[in-house]
Amino acid sequence: MAPLSFQTESFGRFYLVDKVATGGMAEVFKAKSFSHGGFEKLLVIKRILGHLSDNDEFVEMFIDEAKITVSLQHPNIVQIYDFGRIRENYYLSMECVEGKDVKGILRKLAQRRKLFPTEFAVYIAHEMCKGLDYAHKKADAQGNPLRIIHRDISPSNILVSYNGEVKIADFGIAKAESSAYDTKDGVLKGKFEYMSPEQASGKELDNRSDLFSAGIILHEMLTGRRLFKTDSDVKTLERIKTGDVSPPSKLNPAIPPRLDEIVLKALSVDPAERYADGREMQQALLEFLYPATPDLTRESLGHFMQELFSQEVDEERGRLLEGTRVASEMYAADPGPSTEQEWQASAATTAGTITTQPSRWPWAVALGALLLLGAVGAWALTRQPEERVVERLVQAEAPTTGSVQLRIEPAEAQARAFLDGAEIGSGSMVQSEGLAVGTPLVLRIEAEGFQPYEESLTLVAGERLRQKITLLPVPAPVPDRPPTAPVESATPTETTQTAPVTVTASFSSDPSGATVSVDGRSVGTTPTSWTGGKPGGTYTVVMSKDGYDSASLSATLPETGSKAFKGSLKAKAVEPGTLQVFAGKAGPATVSVNGKAWGESPPLIKQSLPPGTYSVTVTPKDGSEPETRSVTVKSGETAKANF
């Protein structure tokens, strides 16, 4: 294996195995921690640069936001595990999400001259709304709403894992009702091109401001174009405040009218005309996705991400494996203190005692990097798939309870979870907090058509047990056999039941991104897989994609294992259109279309082109500023661009 460009180093009880990003205020690393019995954990360490400890204003600005961040625990929000100080550096440890942020995905697609598949863009927005709705409605221990507003929802803060999970990151400038630090008059926080009109105007914000920002991201994913970005921040803010928004279908004709309506409602200038909360917007997106389901779409998105970033995935995993190998050798040579208490004592000896009073130190400095990580660059990581993980929860006081977070598969099982006979939740993700510790609790999972799952758990104060549970289907009954004549020499034998065999069909297409239906039922978008068939069964598979003739094939599944099926889609014969350009008062001027020179105008210039959207630029001969417009050419029609 090739040597690491980053030298693995120890950092307290952590081992930094790969550097992800560096900026003026923080360094971000993939890290490993080790414990007894071969236990190891992958996480992210954000190490705050030492000089920030002397910046009182910086510290004051983030102390309350840090408390907000650690209180948010949701599948669609990046989890903060712990904070502390080692030597001169404060740090945050957090969930590691292996993947990319939406900004990186859009950049990669632009390099390939491709658009984000509509189904995936809608799914990502759907998951964003779930996380935002949770944060917006978060309450304190007494039930008082915190009224959290993220205020920096942007593509670089939306992470998509290689497994198709979507998580919101960087609550570093979030604002809550309980915050003691007030933004100074005239100071705008967040990325200008993703602000809401009221945020751009410096007005009071509520949860609908974040939904406007989510609408901007959805618009950009559907069109591949920046919605409000201009050549200056002032112009960008003015454009946002005037609500200068075109429906996505104007740039991407494949967008249906219903999706236009959803996007434009989220982007209404008047907050009262937007969705009332994240749940309402999520429901609208879910209805649009139907008959596809979020679980199937997540799986397809994971395949899409792994194909799009195949080279990056291999490189990242190679560095992680090598870094882990070096870290394991370092741990074996010097495991350090054996308990958490000894580590804390060691850290205190090295760096001095860390106060938990509301001074201005650990919380604020630790979360300072969350605001400025956008300047560092996208750190989109994630956790490795794990069967069971124990997390150390961050609490200001000594913890007295534990919690569990269960991921139950298959997702469609509609399972119910019980602890000591009391139901704690249902569905594919179940979370329960405030549970008794130190005594065994009986966990039982029930779902119709599946065998019950049961085990005994003993929780530890201040820790969350995260566990994946896969339910097994109830064995199919053995059909009655017709009676046969008794045979005296025959001896009775026991009838054994065997679990049903599951076979997998993998579907791909050329080009990819085709909708797959099996016997008339949609199962996802290529590349995708399907496990709903019977071994040896034959099914009619249809793959369809806008602009292409559908491909139909007969798929016979294997008796066991998996089988791949691929369809080739032929582009439909499309009548070209005509693009007509006239410089008019801007002339005489040089005309170029998509960067290719067409000549000078006047006179009128026109040319036959395939349907699509083109960038037309006229550059006046007198040295005036060039002017660029986006023009859509339709089949059999003439599109005019008059300057």
**pLDDT for residue 609:** 86
Q: CA 91, CA 28: separation in Å to the nearest integer?
A: 10
**Mean pLDDT across the stretch 532-559?**
86
Q: What is the CATH number of the domain that holds 329?
A: 3.30.200.20
598 in a domain, yes or no? yes
Q: Is the pLDDT of residue 182 over 50?
A: no
Please indicate whether residue 248 or residue 2 has the higher confidence score (pLDDT). 248
Boundary-marking domain end, from 382, 405, 426: 382
Side-chain-side CA neighbours of residue 633 (13 Å) = 23
**pLDDT for residue 127:** 96
Boundary-marking domain end, from 571, 592, 612: 571
Taking Cα atoms as reference points, which of 78, 73, 71, 69 lies closest to residue 98? 78
Side-chain-side CA neighbours of residue 612 (13 Å) = 13
If asked whether residues 349 and 393 sit together in one domain, one would say no
Q: Is the pLDDT of residue 151 over 80?
A: yes
Boundary-marking domain end, from 518, 549, 571: 571
**Mean pLDDT across the stretch 529-557?**
86
Q: Is the pLDDT of residue 566 over 80?
A: yes
54 in a domain, yes or no? yes
If asked whether residues 153 and 275 sit together in one domain, one would say yes
300 in a domain, yes or no? no
Please indicate whether residue 233 or residue 255 has the higher confidence score (pLDDT). 255
Tell me the pLDDT band of 252, cut-offs 50, 70 and 90: very high
If asked whether residues 221 and 281 sit together in one domain, one would say yes
What tokens appear for 441 in the block? 């609790």
The mean predicted confidence, pLDDT, of the chain is 79
Residues 63, 356 contacting (CB under 8 angstroms):
no
Side-chain-side CA neighbours of residue 368 (13 Å) = 29
Query: 263 phi and psi, to 5 degrees?
Result: -65, -45
**Residue 510 CB neighbour total at 10 angstroms:** 14
Pairing of β 538-544 and β 551-556: antiparallel
**pLDDT for residue 359:** 35
The parent domain of residue 181 ranges over 101-287
- For residues 103, 108, 111, 112, the Cα torsion angle rounded to the nearest 10 degrees is -130
275 in a domain, yes or no? yes
If asked whether residues 252 and 113 sit together in one domain, one would say yes
Pairing of β 528-530 and β 589-593: unpaired
Q: What is the CATH number of the domain that holds 461?
A: 2.60.40.10
Q: Which amino acid is at 468?
A: K
Burial class (CB in 10 A: 0-12, 13-18, 19+), 54: exposed
Range ranked top by mean pLDDT from 37-41, 51-55, 218-222, 230-234: 218-222
Scanning the structure block, which residue is given the tokens 């007894």? 36
Q: Is the pLDDT of residue 494 over 60?
A: no
What tokens appear for 639 in the block? 């599109």
Q: Is the pLDDT of residue 470 over 70?
A: yes
If asked whether residues 92 and 106 sit together in one domain, one would say no
594 in a domain, yes or no? yes
The number of folded domains in the chain is: 5
**pLDDT for residue 622:** 79
Exposure string of 409-424, with b = 16+ CB inside 10 Å and e = fewer, is eebebebbbbbeeeeb
Residues 411, 295 contacting (CB under 8 angstroms):
yes
CA–CA distance from 636 to each of 249, 410, 518 (Å)?
19, 49, 35
Q: CA 84, CA 92: separation in Å to the nearest integer?
A: 7
If asked whether residues 315 and 277 sit together in one domain, one would say no
If asked whether residues 131 and 252 sit together in one domain, one would say yes
Q: What is the CATH number of the domain that holds 511?
A: 2.60.40.1120
Tell me the pLDDT band of 59, cut-offs 50, 70 and 90: low
3-state secondary structure of 101: strand
Strand partners, 620: 589
Question: pLDDT above 70 covers what percent of the chain?
Answer: 79
Q: Is the pLDDT of residue 111 over 70?
A: yes
Per DSSP, the residues of 127-148 read: HHHHHHHHHHT-B-TTS-B---
If asked whether residues 461 and 536 sit together in one domain, one would say no
Tell me the pLDDT band of 186, cut-offs 50, 70 and 90: very low
Side-chain-side CA neighbours of residue 468 (13 Å) = 10
Strands (E), 26-183: 26-34, 40-48, 80-86, 89-94, 97-101, 158-161, 166-168
Strand partners, 544: 515
**Mean pLDDT across the stretch 461-487?**
69
Q: CA 484, CA 411: separation in Å to the nearest integer?
A: 43
Please indicate whether residue 87 or residue 176 has the higher confidence score (pLDDT). 87
Q: What is the CATH number of the domain that holds 587?
A: 2.60.40
If asked whether residues 86 and 143 sit together in one domain, one would say no
29 in a domain, yes or no? yes
If asked whether residues 143 and 242 sit together in one domain, one would say yes
**pLDDT for residue 371:** 38
What tokens appear for 129 in the block? 């709304």
- For residues 353, 355, 360, 362, the Cα torsion angle rounded to the nearest 10 degrees is 70
**pLDDT for residue 393:** 47
If asked whether residues 561 and 533 sit together in one domain, one would say yes
Omega before 492 cis (within 30°)?
no
Tell me the pLDDT band of 531, cut-offs 50, 70 and 90: confident
Taking Cα atoms as reference points, which of 22, 41, 45, 29 lies closest to residue 94? 45
Q: Is the pLDDT of residue 588 over 60?
A: yes
481 in a domain, yes or no? no
The 3 state secondary structure assigned to 257-322 is HHHHHHHHHHCCCCHHHCCCCHHHHHHHHHHHHCCCCHHHHHHHHHHHHHHHCHHHHHHHHHHHHH
Range ranked top by mean pLDDT from 219-233, 325-339, 387-401: 219-233
**pLDDT for residue 552:** 85
Please indicate whether residue 291 or residue 394 has the higher confidence score (pLDDT). 291
Q: Is the pLDDT of residue 370 over 50?
A: no
Range ranked top by mean pLDDT from 21-30, 295-304, 571-580: 295-304
Q: CA 38, CA 21: separation in Å to the nearest integer?
A: 29
Q: How far apart are the first and last CA of the chain?
A: 59
Angle at 350 between CA 347 and CA 351, to 5 degrees: 85
E strand or H helix at 639, and its extent? strand 638-642
| pTM > 0.75 | no
Q: CA 93, CA 84: separation in Å to the nearest integer?
A: 9
Please indicate whether residue 596 or residue 586 has the higher confidence score (pLDDT). 596
122 in a domain, yes or no? yes
**Mean pLDDT across the stretch 338-367?**
41
pLDDT tens for 413-440 read 888 989 888 888 888 888 888 888 878 8
**pLDDT for residue 479:** 56
**Mean pLDDT across the stretch 61-86?**
74
Tell me the pLDDT band of 373, cut-offs 50, 70 and 90: very low
**DSSP classification of residue 190:** S
Q: Is the pLDDT of residue 535 over 60?
A: yes
**Mean pLDDT across the stretch 235-264?**
91
Q: Which amino acid is at 218?
A: L
Tell me the pLDDT band of 598, cut-offs 50, 70 and 90: confident
Range ranked top by mean pLDDT from 296-305, 492-501, 559-568, 612-621: 296-305
3-state secondary structure of 108: helix
If asked whether residues 254 and 158 sit together in one domain, one would say yes
**pLDDT for residue 449:** 85
Among 63-72, 281-290, 403-412, the least confident range = 63-72
Side-chain-side CA neighbours of residue 553 (13 Å) = 16
Helix axis angle for 278-289 and 207-223, nearest 10°, is: 30
Residues 339, 345 contacting (CB under 8 angstroms):
no
Residues 15, 8 contacting (CB under 8 angstroms):
yes
**Mean pLDDT across the stretch 352-368?**
36
**pLDDT for residue 126:** 96
CA–CA distance from 172 to each of 47, 194, 570 (Å)?
15, 16, 48
Burial class (CB in 10 A: 0-12, 13-18, 19+), 279: middle
